[in-house]
Structure 1
Amino acid sequence: MNLEIENIKTKTNGFTLRINEYFLHSKYNPVKEAEQLAINHFKKNHIHILFGNGLGYITEALLSIMDAKSTLLVVDPLVDELYKYSKNTNKATIIKQLTNENFGTYLGASLDNYNRNVTIFSSPNYDKLFPKEYKELLKLVKNKLNLNIINENTVRFFADTWQKNYINNLFLAQKDYSVKILNKKFNCPVIIASGGPSLTKQIPMLKEKLENVLLIAAGSTVNTLLSHGIEPDFVISVDGGIENYNHFQELKLKKPHLIYSMTNHYKIRDSFHSKCFFFVSNEFVNSKDNIEYTLNREVPIIFGGGSVANYAFSIASYISNGPIALIGQDLAYTSNKTHAEHNKHYKIIDDQYREERGMFYVKGYNNEDVLTDYAFLSMKDTFERLVSIVKHENSIYNCTEGGVFIEGFKHDTFSNFCRIHVGNKIKKDILFPNEINDYNGFTEKIKEEMTNYNKIISFLNLGLQELNNNKNNVAFSNNSLRKLKNVDEEIGRLFSKVSMSTIINPITIDILKKFQEKEGETTSETFNRIYSQNKELYSRLLEAAIISKKYTENLVKKIES
């Protein structure tokens, strides 16, 4: 695009820019125009994305009225061309383009805790100069916010289930092995089989190469593989729901090793008769120290996302230095199918199902349009993020030959991958260390956790009692403030000694969203907000602590029996 840039003096002795006949600021008073635009678009406690910096008037006006809890990101396709003209806007982050790859760098932290308070708008005429870029920016932000909704719904739905699974998995992990013993154990090609519709086309080649590769099955994909007489070397499972357990309930697997997260449905372990491994998923990152203390061994954090295949990819990189290939990773409804055949969830989709899932088209493996939805898009997004995090030593391929196009992966046929990277038969033997299972020490630590739950419950009840005792409806007494501060400090200390992060996450999300300070709050309104915030926080934490204590009591009974 050819750009004719003119720096023109305004009638108020300021400057404006004209680019290809479009003015980026007022010809009369750009400062006043910017102040009005800032007032019109500013929202308290929001992330603000401004498309177009121009000479920096709007950026400066926004920064002058923003509160501490608001942030500003400026996206400007002309940032390089206009650098010499722009006003000093060092306090703002200005980038040329917001992409999937740099989204996390610039907005990831701001969107923590499932924040969806984002406002985005264009500076005058930028959307006319760069309509395609502005449309892409709106689409990217919309997609990310929809993914936040999916992730938040998942956290809410599984909060209780994950806590129950975690406590029961502690008992299993005590006799199993940390995945740490597999760290770079292998130096061979790894195939990750997922349950997308395209998996079936790779089955014949996979059967030929079974002795020459390490085969990892992503969750329920094991059923499709078994139906073709293929036993994987490892099965990864992270889903804590009963539906995931149903995939494994009738299986009796002698050869494959299970690698499971602490949130995985604990009964799945019963289907595996070989030695198994466990890890800490990124949802439990805050509990890592406590898990290692309880089990008396080092446990790595494995990063993943909304799909077990995301974790399978990270694990493949963790256990082998060799090249990695994805197969069956459609993340799309290829040929109007939900899964590969012989998966229990396999079905042909119809118009009603498309509407229910809110499906849409994206770029496919072969640059065609393919049908997907936001759940699949979340998994695609995670793969693209993991590629940059993992920094694998060898080549990473998407050999699905169908489905969505995953950025950061080499796209090639499975037969080409095998021709280039798969050689002779490999050794898959694992040397297991002689670990002593100290059940007495383990039991004492579980009982110690029980004691901490009792203390947490006691302090939370004390906090609720103090709130009820406060008679003033405008302010807390100094005595109340002192006691409430002590409650907060004690439960903060005790929460670091128990693993409740997943069951607490929905509470944290709600408290952050529900009790934000309002514009022009009176003293009485501020008091009522803080009072209600503390009451809801203590009440819901108390309920979560009682549930966690109950699950832990059941674990103690299981150990003693």
Structure 2
Amino acid sequence: MNSFNLDFFNAKNGEKTCRLNGKLFHSAYNPSKEAENFSVSQKITFTPSCIVLLEPALSYCAGFLRKQFPSATLIAVRFLQDFSNTDILWDKVLSFSEDGDFSQTLYSALGEEKLLSSLILDWPGSRNIFPETFQKVWQHIKKAVLTARDVLYTREKFSRRWFLNSAVFFNYGRNFYSLKKTAKDVVVTASGPSLHSSIPLIKQHRTSFFLMAVSSSLSVLLSSGIVPDMVVSTDGGFWAEKHLFFNSDTMEKLKNTVFALSDECRCPKNILENHKILPLIYPSSIGEKICSQCRMEESFPALRNGTVSGTAAALALAISSRKVYFCGLDLAAADGFQHTQPNMLEKNAGSGDFRLNTKEKRQTAARFSSGQSLEIYRRWFKSQGEIFCRQLFRVSESGIFSESLEPVKDISWNEISFDAAPSAVEFEKQDNFNKKDLKKIFLEALNDDSLRKELFPLEAVLLEREKDEDKINDLKIEIQKKKSEIEKKLRRLFDE
């Protein structure tokens, strides 16, 4: 695969062609005709959003593919940089390296909708020259497609719930705040087992930093007498709400704590009604549309992420110009408890333990079932940019973790030097949020075709792919049926 093995020469028709170690990338007679025949031979039964071609070499087929699929985005995957002078013929160019995680690169570049409606092709000459490389690339592609499938099915399962959660959020929220950027260090707590070792040190240095708790770690902090400055919750699922259920005495202790909540998250109504809320709004989401129409001018843009820890990390980096230290970010399966105790979900799960279904059996199952999702979360932290990794550190008492997040650095508490006189963090109440037309806005959003991908992601992907008119009509009927069910729930909510 080294460039000095490449031999460029003219084909019989005068066009440039090339070979590597005697094997041809393109025809030695008529490369353009070969590319045209390849392109027109692609007979598919769906409408692709993207055409992805693995190492197209001199890219003769780009023009023919664009002619055959005029609405598709053309993407080349390069194994060699020697053909980069033809990259201009493609809408996007990705590079494959055996040292990197190409599945993450592909997924990040396309997203789940485009990835699941893409046509991915081998360029025959390149496949003949690099058979082992092609095999590895297809393994990465399979991994990316499976990730996209899982994410899409998760969105399909939860999207309507998130929409209704958003309606609850805006309907019951009373005290929306905005946050000014601070020059104070931030400590963020997740609920991994290593958090336990950091608790005494968090207490010791408590006045030296802004303390942000991922919701699953809140019970741990409170049980140790530590009250965070902010609690972050983004999960829209039923069980996520359990992390925020506390008695009135505990909630009184949290009266000055700000709850940074995505509008899609599941949250007890008493928190929405009685506590300070920093709205976390995802770009190009239904929540952003609602904020715009209700004149909420200073919602905080949130980073959509598979784990709340990723969103919390991005939030901490956005609000602070100093260092961010993350405790309990193990992202690794552990023997015994998977979270530092007490944990609200463990408390609920433990109530069902008995002689034939023991705690040990449950914990072992949890350990092995979490492996795939934890790997996805680790890959996300590893793939962030230079500024992210320069400003954010993972910390524990020892500075040692079983799974690396490099280039994110692992440090111990004795390596941290906090500012002796940290600046205050300022919050400002928003009094301009207009709820007058909230019901109307949500009903209009439900019927806005531009938001179809948000509410009905699976059907939206299938509609874009589908060519058969009968199947298209069946999908539209299914969407309308689901819309009617959501509308009934919205009317009940706003008419309570």
Q: Tell me, yes or no, whether TM beats 0.5.
A: yes
Structure 2 Cα separation of the partners of residues 135 and 325 of structure 1: 40
Distance 1:21 1:299, change over 3 A: same
Between 106-115 and 254-263, the greater mean CA deviation after superposition: 106-115
Determine if the alignment matches structure 1 residue 242 to structure 2 residue 238: yes
Which deviations, in whole Å up to 9, do the C-alpha atoms of 1:341-379 show, x marking residues without a partner?
433446878876576x3x7xxxxxxxxxxxx31x33443
Distance 1:271 1:228, change over 3 A: farther
Partner of 1:544: 486
2:89 counterpart SS class: coil
Partner of 1:200: 196
Determine if the alignment matches structure 1 residue 288 to structure 2 residue 285: no
2:211 counterpart SS class: strand
Superposed, which structure 2 residues align to 1:480-499 within 5 Å? 492=448
Partner of 2:262: 261
Structure 2 Cα separation of the partners of residues 226 and 16 of structure 1: 69
Between 109-118 and 93-102, the greater mean CA deviation after superposition: 93-102
Letter in 2 for 1:304: R
Distance 1:406 1:142, change over 3 A: farther
Determine if the alignment matches structure 1 residue 157 to structure 2 residue 160: no
Structure 2 Cα separation of the partners of residues 284 and 14 of structure 1: 46
1:245 counterpart SS class: helix
Whether the 8 Å CA contact 2:463–2:472 is kept in 1: the answer is: no
Superposition RMSD in Å: 4.1
Superposed, which structure 2 residues align to 1:191-340 within 5 Å? 191-251=187-247, 252-253=250-251, 254-255=253-254, 256-267=257-268, 269-270=270-271, 275-282=275-282, 285-291=285-291, 293-294=293-294, 298-334=298-334, 338-340=338-340
Distance 1:157 1:92, change over 3 A: closer
Compute the TM-score of the two structures, normalised by the length of structure 1.
0.70
Determine if the alignment matches structure 1 residue 63 to structure 2 residue 66: yes
Distance 1:269 1:402, change over 3 A: farther
Whether the 8 Å CA contact 1:194–1:218 is kept in 2: the answer is: yes
Structure 2 Cα separation of the partners of residues 139 and 337 of structure 1: 33
Determine if the alignment matches structure 1 residue 73 to structure 2 residue 104: no
**Percent of aligned pairs with the same residue?**
19
Aligned length: 470
Structure 2 Cα separation of the partners of residues 504 and 51 of structure 1: 28
Letter in 2 for 1:411: K
Superposition deviation, residue 542 in structure 1: 3.0
Superposition deviation, residue 456 in structure 1: 9.1
Partner of 1:513: 462
Partner of 2:374: 376
Whether the 8 Å CA contact 2:189–2:195 is kept in 1: the answer is: yes
Whether the 8 Å CA contact 1:77–1:97 is kept in 2: the answer is: yes
Structure 2 Cα separation of the partners of residues 202 and 377 of structure 1: 24
Distance 1:540 1:217, change over 3 A: same
Structure 2 Cα separation of the partners of residues 456 and 320 of structure 1: 34
Structure 1 unaligned residues grouped into runs of 5+: 360-371, 458-490, 519-524, 555-561
Whether the 8 Å CA contact 1:45–1:67 is kept in 2: the answer is: no
Between 339-348 and 15-24, the greater mean CA deviation after superposition: 339-348
Q: Which has the higher contact order (CA 8 A, sep 6+)?
A: 2
Partner of 1:411: 409
Letter in 1 for 2:437: K
1:263 counterpart SS class: coil
Letter in 2 for 1:257: V
Distance 1:350 1:29, change over 3 A: farther
Letter in 1 for 2:231: V
Whether the 8 Å CA contact 1:75–1:95 is kept in 2: the answer is: yes
Whether the 8 Å CA contact 2:107–2:148 is kept in 1: the answer is: no
Letter in 2 for 1:55: L
Determine if the alignment matches structure 1 residue 53 to structure 2 residue 52: no
Superposition deviation, residue 325 in structure 1: 1.8
Superposition deviation, residue 50 in structure 1: 1.9
Compute the TM-score of the two structures, normalised by the length of structure 2.
0.78
Which deviations, in whole Å up to 9, do the C-alpha atoms of 1:6-46 show, x marking residues without a partner?
12455666554221343323445544544444355564433
Structure 2 Cα separation of the partners of residues 423 and 325 of structure 1: 14
Partner of 1:183: 180
Letter in 1 for 2:144: K
Whether the 8 Å CA contact 1:23–1:124 is kept in 2: the answer is: no
Partner of 2:89: 90
Structure 1 Cα separation of the partners of residues 92 and 425 of structure 2: 52
2:393 counterpart SS class: strand
Distance 1:8 1:210, change over 3 A: same
Between 320-329 and 25-34, the greater mean CA deviation after superposition: 25-34
Superposition deviation, residue 74 in structure 1: 1.0
Whether the 8 Å CA contact 2:335–2:364 is kept in 1: the answer is: no
Superposition deviation, residue 553 in structure 1: 1.4
Structure 2 Cα separation of the partners of residues 211 and 101 of structure 1: 43
Which deviations, in whole Å up to 9, do the C-alpha atoms of 1:452-500 show, x marking residues without a partner?
84x899xxxxxxxxxxxxxxxxxxxxxxxxxxxxxxxxx54xx89xxxx
Distance 1:337 1:63, change over 3 A: farther
Determine which of 437, 443, 446 is the counterpart of 1:445. Answer: 437
Larger CA Rg, structure 1 vs 2: 1
1:412 counterpart SS class: strand
Partner of 2:355: none
Structure 2 unaligned residues grouped into runs of 5+: 347-358
Whether the 8 Å CA contact 2:54–2:123 is kept in 1: the answer is: yes
Partner of 2:5: 4
Partner of 2:118: 118
Superposition deviation, residue 194 in structure 1: 1.0
